[in-house]
Amino acid sequence: MPLTKTEVLAAALEILDSYGLADLSMRRLAADLGVQPGALYYHVANKQTLLVELADVVLADLEPAGGPAVDPDADPSQVVRDFGARLYALLRRHRSGAELVSAALAMRPVDESPATGLAARLERLGVDTDDAQALAHGTLHLVLGHALDDEQRRQYAQFNPDATTDGADPARLDRALQLLGAGLAALATTPP
């Protein structure tokens, strides 16, 4: 039976979850699938393409049900908090989720960023286009940084049993997202 792209991505995600991004190689992926490395290139052009597509799998549920539509009466600051919480949860589902998504972002055009859906929702709520873009991308990077810090702290603790470091504090991230939302509310009431 021929190998499918879905199988390739599922096996890559399993390696990511079991061993982390550093151990995800085309050779290891091919071995796990029982094929020669060249067989993978029919489904993904190279490792960079694999990482971008794998990041898409990790973030598949980022947009709320029904896509980037938004209730016209929604509170923009709550929309930001909801996006941040959803993104953080998706990143934390996978061992190296934040590292993977961060690497994939560097390989994509900015207009393909996961933040574009949030920016579009904020614009529909009346937030200026430039402000919506800045806030959406700032939120994305705040959450990525927080999740990456958490990943690194957990990895350090795993290999250093005497380490006293804990994972990043989700309450601190939520507070940062609240402050971003409050800044948005203040911006919306401040004349240009």
Query: Where is pLDDT greater, at 150 or 141?
Result: 141
Question: Do 23 and 64 fall into the same domain?
Answer: no
Together in a domain, 175 and 106: yes
* Domain encompassing residue 168: 59-189
Which CATH number characterizes residue 98's domain?
1.10.357.10
Residue 116 shares a structural domain with residue 65: yes
Rg of the chain on CA atoms, in Å: 19
pLDDT given for residue 94 in this prediction: 94
The pLDDT confidence band at residue 7, using thresholds 50, 70 and 90, is very high
Residues 174 and 111 in one domain: yes
**Cα dihedral 187, 189, 190, 192 in deg (nearest 10):** 90
Please list the helix, strand and coil fractions of the chain in percent, rounded to the nearest 5, in that order. Answer: 70, 0, 30
Domain total of the chain: 2
- The string of pLDDT tens digits covering residues 28-83 is 999 999 999 999 999 999 999 999 999 999 999 998 665 556 677 888 888 898 99
Q: Say yes or no: 142 and 181 in one domain.
A: yes
| 192 has pLDDT over 60 | no
Q: How far is Cα 167 from Cα 14, in angstroms, rounded to an integer?
A: 22
Q: pTM for this structure?
A: 0.88
| Co-location of 64 and 139 in the same domain | yes
The pLDDT value given to residue 18 = 94
Q: Which two tokens stand for residue 133?
A: 């873009």
Average pLDDT over residues 163-186: 76
Higher pLDDT, 97 or 157: 97
CB-based burial label for 175 (10 Å; 0-12, 13-18, 19+): exposed
DSSP string, 32-58: HHTS-HHHHTTT-SSHHHHHHHHHHHH
Token pair of 159, please? 């290999």
